[in-house]
Amino acid sequence: MVSETFSLRETVEKVIKTSQPLAENKNLKLTAEIAPEIGLMKSDRRRVEQILLNLLSNAVKFTEQGFVRMKCEIQNEKIVISVADSGIGIKPEDIGVLFNPFRQIESGTTRKYDGTGLGLSICRKLARLLGGEVRVESVWGQGSTFSLMLPQEGEVEKEQHLPKQEREK
């Protein structure tokens, strides 16, 4: 893991921009809500971005209509980035195995969605290496919310609202 100071706001915006074409192809409304107190943090930017991209791409993949929303805020002294969708949801009996490697809810020849079953397992492991966690809440047939929780002590200061070129100097 590489610890660096980076703009969490810019990272969330980049992930949204990267995922926008996938959402547009499915006519999904993709939005981001970033709390004003979210600024610079100290963590492994690439790993945070990797987790967020995976959670967001899963949400788009498993949502046929409606919305996918990313929300970034501070709760109970933790940075919480949640990805909510109006997708297929997850049955309660499947939530316990969701983060197991090579495990997918659908299996066999009738499987509708592609993937290796490694994404969520990797996300959880990376989150734990960063001192955080990934959790899920879901209602079958109504959608899911996956939340990445990271320690707030990684946040070093509020981001100055300077033009991007100025922040990168």
- At 115, is the pLDDT very low, low, confident or very high (cuts 50, 70, 90)? very low
The sign of the CA dihedral 130, 153, 35, 82 is: positive
Segments forming the whole domain that contains residue 96? 4-167
Q: Which two tokens stand for residue 4?
A: 């660096």
Average pLDDT over residues 45-63: 96
CATH value at residue 97: 3.30.565.10
Lowest-confidence segment of 6-20, 66-80, 86-100, 128-142 by average pLDDT: 86-100
What predicted TM-score, i.e. pTM, was given to this entire model? Answer: 0.82
Q: Is a pLDDT exceeding 90 seen at residue 35?
A: yes
pLDDT at 117: 58
Q: How many domains does the chain have?
A: 1
Q: Is a pLDDT exceeding 50 seen at residue 126?
A: yes
| DSSP states along 86-147 | -S----HHHHTTTTSTT--SS-STT--S---S-HHHHHHHHHHHTT-EEEEEEETTTEEEEE
Cα distance between residue 94 and residue 74, in whole Å: 29
CA 125 to chain centre: 14
Cα distance between residue 60 and residue 29, in whole Å: 10
